[in-house]
Structure 1
Amino acid sequence: MKLSLSTLLNPHSKFASQKAFRLFFSSTSTQILSSPKLPQTLYRRISPVGDPNISIVPVLDQWVREGKEVQREELQWIIKELKFYRRYKHALEVSQWMTDKRYIPLMTGDIADRLNLISRVHGLEQAEKYFENIPQILKGYEVYWALLNCFAHGKAVEKSETFMQKLRDMGYARTPWSYNIMMTLYYKMESWEKLDSLVHEMEEKGIYFDYYTYGIRLSAYAAASDIEGMDNIVTKMESDHRVTLDYYTYGVAADGYLKVGLLDKALTMLSKLEGQMISTKKRNVAFDCLLRLYARTGKKDELHRIWNLYKKEKIFNNGYMAMMSSLLKFNAIEDAEKIFEEWESRGLTYDFRIPNYLIDVYCRNGLLGKAESLLEKG
Structure 2
Amino acid sequence: MRLPSRDGPFQENRHHQMRWRGRDGPSQKGHHHENKLPDTTFQPYLFQIVLDTPTSLLMAVLDTWVKAGNCLERSKVSMVLFHLRKQRLYSKALKFMDWIERRKLLDFEECDYASHLDLIARNHGFEAAQKYIERVPEPFRNEVLYETLLVNCVCQDDVQKAQQVFNEIKELSLPLTVSACNQMILLYKRVARGKVADILMLMEKENIKFSRFTYKLLIDLKGQSNDILGMESVLNTMKDNGLEPDFATQTMVAKFYISGGLTEKAEEVIRAMEVYVKDNREATRSLLDLYAILGRPDDVQRIWNSYTTPKLEDFLAAIEAWSKLGRIEQAEETFEALVKTSPKLTSKYFNAMLNVYAEHKLLSKGKEFIEWMFLEGCPSSPLTWDAIVKLYANSGELAKADSFLVNVTEENPDRHPLFRSYITLLSAYAKKGDIHNSEKIFDRLKQIRYPGRTPPYNLLLAAYASAKVTPYGFRERMKADNVRPTKTDIECLRRLDNLQITRLLE
Of 138, 141, 144, 1:142 maps to 144
Residue 321 of structure 1 deviates from its aligned partner by 4.3
CA distance in 2, matches of 1:275, 1:82: 39
CA distance in 2, matches of 1:153, 1:233: 25
Give the corresponding residue for 1:31.
none
Residue ranges of structure 1 left out of the alignment (5+ in a row): 2-38
Alignment of 1:296-375 (within 5 A): 296-310=293-307, 312-315=309-312, 319-346=314-341, 347-349=343-345, 351=347, 352-357=350-355, 359-360=357-358
Residue 134 of structure 1 deviates from its aligned partner by 1.5
Q: Against the structure 1 CA distance between its residues 134 and 361, is the aligned structure 2 distance closer, same or farther, given a 3 Å change threshold?
A: closer
Q: Against the structure 1 CA distance between its residues 357 and 232, is the aligned structure 2 distance closer, same or farther, given a 3 Å change threshold?
A: same
Question: Which residue identity lines up with residue 123 of structure 2 in the other structure?
Answer: V
Question: Which residue identity lines up with residue 160 of structure 1 in the other structure?
Answer: A
Comparing 352-361 and 154-163, the one that deviates more: 352-361
Give the corresponding residue for 1:111.
113
Alignment of 1:43-54 (within 5 A): none
CA distance in 1, matches of 2:289, 2:370: 26
Comparing 298-307 and 343-352, the one that deviates more: 343-352
Question: Which residue identity lines up with residue 197 of structure 2 in the other structure?
Answer: D
Instruction: Decide whether the 8 Å contact of 1:131 with 1:147 is kept in 2.
Output: no
CA distance in 2, matches of 1:324, 1:204: 47
Instruction: Report the identity percentage.
Output: 26
Of 154, 171, 175, 2:173 maps to 171
Give the corresponding residue for 2:291.
294
Per-residue CA distance 1:275-300 (angstroms, 9 max, x = gap): 678897xx5x7765543333112222
Structure 1 counterpart SS, 2:251: helix
Structure having greater relative contact order (Cα 8 Å, sep ≥ 6): 1
Question: Which residue identity lines up with residue 319 of structure 2 in the other structure?
Answer: M
Give the corresponding residue for 1:227.
228
Give the corresponding residue for 2:135.
133
Instruction: Decide whether the 8 Å contact of 2:319 with 2:353 is kept in 1.
Output: no
Give the corresponding residue for 1:248.
248
Comparing 128-137 and 342-351, the one that deviates more: 342-351
Question: Which structure is larger by alpha-carbon Rg, 1 or 2?
Answer: 2
Give the corresponding residue for 1:238.
239
Question: Which residue identity lines up with residue 262 of structure 1 in the other structure?
Answer: L
CA distance in 2, matches of 1:305, 1:94: 48
Residue 183 of structure 1 deviates from its aligned partner by 1.1
Give the corresponding residue for 1:35.
none
CA distance in 2, matches of 1:253, 1:41: 37
Q: Against the structure 1 CA distance between its residues 157 and 71, is the aligned structure 2 distance closer, same or farther, given a 3 Å change threshold?
A: same
Instruction: Decide whether the 8 Å contact of 1:320 with 1:340 is kept in 2.
Output: yes
CA distance in 2, matches of 1:135, 1:314: 44
Give the TM-score normalised by the residue count of structure 2.
0.53
Residue 327 of structure 1 deviates from its aligned partner by 1.0
CA distance in 2, matches of 1:268, 1:65: 64
CA distance in 2, matches of 1:156, 1:257: 31
Instruction: Decide whether the 8 Å contact of 1:250 with 1:272 is kept in 2.
Output: no
Question: Which residue identity lines up with residue 220 of structure 1 in the other structure?
Answer: L
Instruction: Decide whether the 8 Å contact of 2:55 with 2:95 is kept in 1.
Output: no
Per-residue CA distance 1:184-206 (angstroms, 9 max, x = gap): 111121x1221012112222332
Give the corresponding residue for 2:204.
203
CA distance in 2, matches of 1:233, 1:112: 33
CA distance in 2, matches of 1:172, 1:276: 42
Question: Which residue identity lines up with residue 292 of structure 1 in the other structure?
Answer: D
Give the corresponding residue for 2:183.
181
Per-residue CA distance 1:18-48 (angstroms, 9 max, x = gap): xxxxxxxxxxxxxxxxxxxxx984469969x
Residue 335 of structure 1 deviates from its aligned partner by 1.7
CA distance in 1, matches of 2:104, 2:337: 42
Give the corresponding residue for 2:12.
none
Question: Which residue identity lines up with residue 199 of structure 1 in the other structure?
Answer: L
CA distance in 2, matches of 1:288, 1:92: 35
Give the TM-score normalised by the residue count of structure 1.
0.68
Instruction: Decide whether the 8 Å contact of 1:294 with 1:303 is kept in 2.
Output: yes
Question: Which residue identity lines up with residue 259 of structure 2 in the other structure?
Answer: K
CA distance in 1, matches of 2:189, 2:331: 36
Alignment of 1:72-87 (within 5 A): 72=74, 75-76=77-78, 79=81
CA distance in 1, matches of 2:100, 2:244: 33
Give the corresponding residue for 2:21.
none
CA distance in 2, matches of 1:54, 1:322: 35
Q: Against the structure 1 CA distance between its residues 260 and 362, is the aligned structure 2 distance closer, same or farther, given a 3 Å change threshold?
A: closer
Alignment length, in residue pairs? 327
Question: Which residue identity lines up with residue 265 of structure 1 in the other structure?
Answer: K
Question: Which residue identity lines up with residue 342 of structure 1 in the other structure?
Answer: A
Question: Which residue identity lines up with residue 288 of structure 2 in the other structure?
Answer: L
CA distance in 2, matches of 1:273, 1:90: 42
CA distance in 2, matches of 1:248, 1:93: 36
Structure 2 counterpart SS, 1:349: coil
Residue 208 of structure 1 deviates from its aligned partner by 0.9
Question: Which residue identity lines up with residue 246 of structure 2 in the other structure?
Answer: D
Question: Which residue identity lines up with residue 356 of structure 1 in the other structure?
Answer: L
Comparing 192-201 and 99-108, the one that deviates more: 99-108
Residue 150 of structure 1 deviates from its aligned partner by 2.7
